[in-house]
Structure 1
C-alpha cells in the first residue's frame, strides 16, 4: 500500500495544554506524588504533566467518596439523573475541544473520536430517561396470594471502583461511572495514564452539569499499585482491559465477595455469507476492522468469507483498504490515525512479521509508517493465517485482519467459535432470518447482522458484554445499572402466618397448603 503525500500532514493546532488548564485539571486529582509527563502518539511530544497518586491517596479518595455517598443515596433517582441531561448537552456543545483531546491522547482519526462523543451523549440520554424505571420498586407475587406482599428494592452498593482503559479516552473513562452514580453510588475512577487529560475534562463537565462534590473521585497512577488499590477498596468493581489482568481482578473481587463486571479481550469474526451485499459488506468491514487503528475490543480481527464470493468480496475490500487515508492531523477527512504507543506498534509488528515468516501472505499494508507518525502502521490484510501463528489466536489490537474461506454456514460458525474469546461478531446476509439463526449459534455477547459493531454497541437499551474469556457482566441496558446495586426482597405477611393455626393438625395444614398449590397451578400463578 502506498498512501499519497496528502495523508501525511502534521497536527495544525498546538498539542501541548496550557499551564492554566493543566493546573486546573491537576487540582481535580487526589494525588500527593510527583508530576509525570504525558505525551501524544501523534508526534511523540510532551503535552503536559499530571500528578501521581499513591495507595494512601486512594484511601483518601474512598473516604471522601463514602462521606458524599450517604446523602446522595437518599435522593430520589429522578433527582440523581438530572445531571445526566445537562451533561448530554455539554458533551455535544464542547465536542470540538473533546475531539482534540481524544485525538491528542489516543492518536485516532477524528471521525472515530466522534464515536466517543456519540457514545457518551447516548449513555447520558438513556440513563437519564430509563434509570427511574430500571430502579423502580417492583411487586412480585407473594408466597400466599393476598396474604403475602413481596417487593424488590435496588439499593446502591456504596462506592464503585472503576479502572478504565486507554483506547477510548472519553467514552470508556466516564460512561461506566454514569449509571453507577445514577444508581446512588459514589465512584473512585482511575483512568489509564495515557488518557488522563480527556478523562479529567469529562469529570469537569460532570461538575459543571451539577454532580455534587465528592461523588466522583479521580486518582492517577500505574495499574498494579494505584489501579490495584482502587479495586481493593471498592464495594463493586468495573474493569476494562486485558483478559490476563481481568482474571486477577475477578479472583481478588471473589476473595472479598465483591461484585465485578469485566470487559476483556476479543478475537472477533465477521462472516460474509454467499448472499451478502458485497458493496455494503466491504465498506463496513473497512470500518469495523480499522476503526481506532484496530485498538477496540469489539473490532473485527477475522474475516470469514464464503468461498463462492470470496474473490469478489476481497477485490472490493482491498480497493477500499488501499485507498484509505492515514493521518495525524486534528482534522476531519482521515480514515485511520496512529497506534497509541511504541508497545502497541511492537505488538502489531511482531504479529505481522511472525505470520509472514510462517507462510502468511500480505494482501495489503504490512509495515510501519514513521513518515506519518511515530507509531503509525498501515492497515493490513493477511491471507493464509494458520495454527501456530501469533495472530491466529491472540488478540492483535491493531490494524490487522486475517482472511479465512469457508464453504457453508456451519464452517463459518465453527470458525467464529474457535477462540477462547467471545465478545463480538458480525454476520452479513440479505436473509435476515438466516442472519439471526447464524447469530444465535455464535458464542459472543453481541452479534451484529449487517453491521460490524456499532449497531449492538450503540443500542444503549440492550446489554453489551462478553462470554468465555471476554468477560463477566454487562454494560448498557437494565443490566448496566442494576449491577451497581444490591437487590433486596422485602416481603410483608398479613393476617395469617406460616405457622400451623391453633386447632388445626399439622396433617390438615399440609393438606390445605397442597390444595392451595394445585389451585395456584391451575390459575397460572407462579
Structure 2
C-alpha cells in the first residue's frame, strides 16, 4: 500500500524553519535550499540556508542554556529524554514518512530507524544516572582524593543523510544525558528529519537552547563550529576525506573529536557455515537502505567448496526484493539518494564487467526515470583489480569472490585502509574466535548481519575513524574527569 498520502504535521514542509534557542528561525537574507524526493525528483521543501550567523546564534544559545541544564540532576535530564523517546514512538509514522520522502529509505525500514533512534534516548536516559566518580586512597591521613565527572560543555553533532534520526540521537542522547547542550548540523539531503525531531524536543519541554538545529551552508557552518571556542566537542559521521579535514580543524583549538567514517566491510562465509543464515545475513547487510550504509557488506568472500550453493541461495533471495517508491510498504529497496550516488554505482558495475565480472542478477537502472533506482545486483567472478573491491560503493551491488583457506581470507579482508565493520559466518567456535580476533575492524558481526545496538560501542579503526558511540563507552567523550585533592 502506497503511503504517499500520509499526513505529515510535525513540521510544515511548505514553510520549513531552522530551530535556534527554542524558536523557529529563517536565514539571514531569506536564503533557502531545496530538499528533493529521490523517488520522483520533486522538490518537497525549501529549507532556510543557515550559515555563519545562524550557527553562531545557535552556539551562543546552547552556551546560555548550558549552566542550568548541567545543574539538573541525572534523573531530571533522563525524564526529558524519555519524554522525547515516547514522542518519537508516538509519531513514528510521521517521522518515517518524512525520512522516506527526503532520502528514499523504504518506509518499513524507516519505521525501524525511528524505533532504533528512540532507543538511544532511553538507553542514555539510564546511562546518565550511572556517571560515577571515584575516591582514591590518599598517601597521607589528612587528604582525600576525589575524581568527579562533569559535562564538557557545548557540543556539535554533524550527522549524515543515510541515517538522519539514528545518527543524531546516537550523538545527542549521551550528550544531553551527560549535561551538555549543543547544535546539530544535519546533512543537506535530509534536514527535515532533524527539524521534525526538534518539534518533539519542543513538545517535551526541553529548555530553550539545549538543542539547536542548523542546516544549510556546510562549509560556513563547519567553519564556525570549529573556529568558535565555545564548542568543546564535535562528533562527525561521514566520509573519510571530510573526516581528515576536520581533524586538522580541530587541532587549532584542541577540540575533542570523534569520527565515524567510511568502511569497506568484508563478509566471509566459511565452508562450515549455515548457508541459509549466511545468505539471509548477506541480504540484510548488503541491501539495507539500498546498500547506502557504512557497514554494508562490500566484499563477499565465499569458500570455494560452497560457492555454487551459497550463490544460488543468495541470488534467489535477492531476486525477491522489490524495488520502487520508498513510501510503498511492500517495497524493500528504494532509490539512491541522488544522481551522484546512482552514477557511482553504475561506474562500479561497468568497471567490474569490463574486467570480467558476471552479472548474476540485476545490474541496471530501473523504475521511475525521475528517480534514482538501481536493481539489487550480484556480481560473480570478481577480482581484486576491480574498483568495487577497494572503494565503498554505497549502493545495492554485492561482489562475490572465493577463497581456499583461513589465512588467505583474513589477509584479503584486512587488506584495506578501512576498519569499521566485518562479518563472518561459521559454526566452528575455534575458527569464530580466531578470525574475529584477527580481523582489524571495530565491529564484528559473528553470524550476525546487523550488530548495531544502543548498548554496545560502535566505531572504527584505521581510516574508519576513532572514538565510540553507543554503550557506556559512548558517553565518555562528553565528560571531563576532574581530580580534586582535598586537604583536611
Residue in structure 2 matched with residue 23 of structure 1 by the alignment: 15
**What is the aligned counterpart of 2:64 among 62, 67, 81?**
67
**SS where residue 150 of structure 1 aligns?**
strand
**What is the aligned counterpart of 2:159 among 133, 156, 164?**
164
Give yes or no for contact 1:381–1:401 (8 Å, CA) kept in 2: yes
Q: Provide the C-alpha distance between the structure 1 equivalents of 2:37 and 2:448, rounded to a whole number of angstroms.
A: 31
Instruction: Give the superposition deviation at 1:139.
Output: 2.5
Q: Choose 174-183 or 158-167, whichever is displaced more.
A: 174-183
Q: Provide the C-alpha distance between the structure 2 equivalents of 1:323 and 1:66, rounded to a whole number of angstroms.
A: 52
**What is the aligned counterpart of 1:218 among 210, 213, 217?**
213
Q: Provide the C-alpha distance between the structure 2 equivalents of 1:21 and 1:392, rounded to a whole number of angstroms.
A: 40
Aligned: 1:137 with 2:150? no
**What is the aligned counterpart of 1:117 among 90, 114, 117?**
114
**What is the aligned counterpart of 1:473 among 467, 473, 480?**
467
Distance 1:408 1:39, change over 3 A: same
Q: Provide the C-alpha distance between the structure 1 equivalents of 2:403 and 2:175, rounded to a whole number of angstroms.
A: 44
Instruction: Give the superposition deviation at 1:174.
Output: 3.3
Q: Provide the C-alpha distance between the structure 2 equivalents of 1:31 and 1:289, rounded to a whole number of angstroms.
A: 39
**SS where residue 194 of structure 1 aligns?**
coil
Q: Choose 351-360 or 485-494, whichever is displaced more.
A: 485-494
Instruction: Find the structure with the greater CA-based Rg.
Output: 1
**What is the aligned counterpart of 2:86 among 60, 83, 89?**
89
Written as runs of structure 1 = structure 2, the 5 A alignment for 1:176-191 is: 176-191=171-186
Q: Provide the C-alpha distance between the structure 2 equivalents of 1:145 and 1:53, rounded to a whole number of angstroms.
A: 56
Give yes or no for contact 1:327–1:372 (8 Å, CA) kept in 2: no
**What is the aligned counterpart of 1:318 among 315, 319, 322?**
315
Question: What are the superposed Cα offsets for residues 110-140 of structure 1, whole Å, 9 maximum, x if unpaired?
Answer: 232123112212111111112111x222223
**What is the aligned counterpart of 1:434 among 431, 434, 447?**
431
Give yes or no for contact 1:25–1:201 (8 Å, CA) kept in 2: no
Q: Provide the C-alpha distance between the structure 1 equivalents of 2:257 and 2:336, rounded to a whole number of angstroms.
A: 29
Residue in structure 2 matched with residue 205 of structure 1 by the alignment: 200
Distance 1:146 1:19, change over 3 A: closer
Residue in structure 2 matched with residue 57 of structure 1 by the alignment: 54
Give TM-score scaled by structure 1 length: 0.87
Q: Provide the C-alpha distance between the structure 2 equivalents of 1:325 and 1:476, rounded to a whole number of angstroms.
A: 32
Give yes or no for contact 1:137–1:154 (8 Å, CA) kept in 2: yes
Aligned: 1:487 with 2:487? no
Q: Provide the C-alpha distance between the structure 1 equivalents of 2:435 and 2:297, rounded to a whole number of angstroms.
A: 17
Q: Choose 12-21 or 393-402, whichever is displaced more.
A: 12-21
Structure 1 residue runs without a partner (length 5+): 1-8, 495-526
Instruction: Give the superposition deviation at 1:146.
Output: 5.7
Give yes or no for contact 2:352–2:386 (8 Å, CA) kept in 1: yes
Distance 1:390 1:257, change over 3 A: same
Instruction: Give the superposition deviation at 1:341.
Output: 0.4
Give yes or no for contact 2:323–2:367 (8 Å, CA) kept in 1: no
Distance 1:327 1:432, change over 3 A: farther
Q: Provide the C-alpha distance between the structure 2 equivalents of 1:411 and 1:436, rounded to a whole number of angstroms.
A: 17
Written as runs of structure 1 = structure 2, the 5 A alignment for 1:393-404 is: 393-404=390-401
Distance 1:128 1:231, change over 3 A: same
Distance 1:94 1:19, change over 3 A: closer
Q: Provide the C-alpha distance between the structure 2 equivalents of 1:404 and 1:16, rounded to a whole number of angstroms.
A: 45
Q: Provide the C-alpha distance between the structure 2 equivalents of 1:442 and 1:467, rounded to a whole number of angstroms.
A: 11
Written as runs of structure 1 = structure 2, the 5 A alignment for 1:292-311 is: 292-311=289-308
Superposed CA RMSD in Å reads: 2.1
Give yes or no for contact 1:423–1:466 (8 Å, CA) kept in 2: yes
Aligned: 1:255 with 2:247? no
Instruction: Give the superposition deviation at 1:470.
Output: 0.3
Residue in structure 1 matched with residue 407 of structure 2 by the alignment: 410
Distance 1:329 1:422, change over 3 A: closer
Give the aligned length: 481
Give TM-score scaled by structure 2 length: 0.93
Give yes or no for contact 1:31–1:219 (8 Å, CA) kept in 2: no
Q: Provide the C-alpha distance between the structure 1 equivalents of 2:369 and 2:320, rounded to a whole number of angstroms.
A: 16
**SS where residue 193 of structure 1 aligns?**
coil
Distance 1:406 1:470, change over 3 A: same
Q: Provide the C-alpha distance between the structure 2 equivalents of 1:316 and 1:279, rounded to a whole number of angstroms.
A: 7
In the TM superposition, structure 1's runs of 4+ consecutive aligned residues that sit over 3 Å from their partners are 9-12, 14-27, 145-149, 370-373
Aligned: 1:464 with 2:479? no
Instruction: Give the superposition deviation at 1:379.
Output: 1.0
Instruction: Give the superposition deviation at 1:10.
Output: 6.8
Aligned: 1:100 with 2:97? yes
Residue in structure 2 matched with residue 151 of structure 1 by the alignment: 146
Q: Provide the C-alpha distance between the structure 2 equivalents of 1:354 and 1:207, rounded to a whole number of angstroms.
A: 49
Question: What are the superposed Cα offsets for residues 207-261 of structure 1, whole Å, 9 maximum, x if unpaired?
Answer: 2223111111111113222233233322111111100000000111122211100
